[in-house]
Structure 1
């Protein structure tokens, strides 16, 4: 094949927009050092990518999944929910304020937690009153 045209590739990838995305992804990977599967014949990377698609020397499904993965901003990992729930159920329930039977309940006095008996003066603003206070 001396020249590659879009018509040669449309048989393999019917959507022209998808063809452009796949060829661009493959051309970038060739530029990054990926091995080419056709003779270069002094062609540039986009032409080599189109020739590989037309000759079906690369796996289009792998190329599509690579393209989708490169365009994703957030990659979700499939984890079974049962494992997450089991981990949550087995963890200590102290953070939720639940006291299990047989365990002594901890109590604190006001002085232990830093509370004071003084009330703020009427003209004084408290941190809770000021919504713009730096935290």
Structure 2
């Protein structure tokens, strides 16, 4: 029973590790940088370098192949954006379709700050009227 449990616990360690060969260290550095910059479409908030999803493995293999073919970083990222949309990048371009992504956090912050300010004013107004009722 213990052996079976030990085998099940160590199962993730048996998973295959992708090994890519490069012509030089610059290509390897580009590969690591690009796989950190591209987001896994399935995992949503993981880079393709950190994801174990099949689609991320395919994307890593494609990045490797494109680097060896001599494609530029912009061409590689453009390929994945064309295929999966702007979501695949952690820094989508500012355009009409992504404006809410860029302005959304700011709008939420400003809206939250306004709500807090209004609640504090209302609470201080109640405190002032309560103090005025206590005096003869």
Normalization by structure 1: what TM-score?
0.26
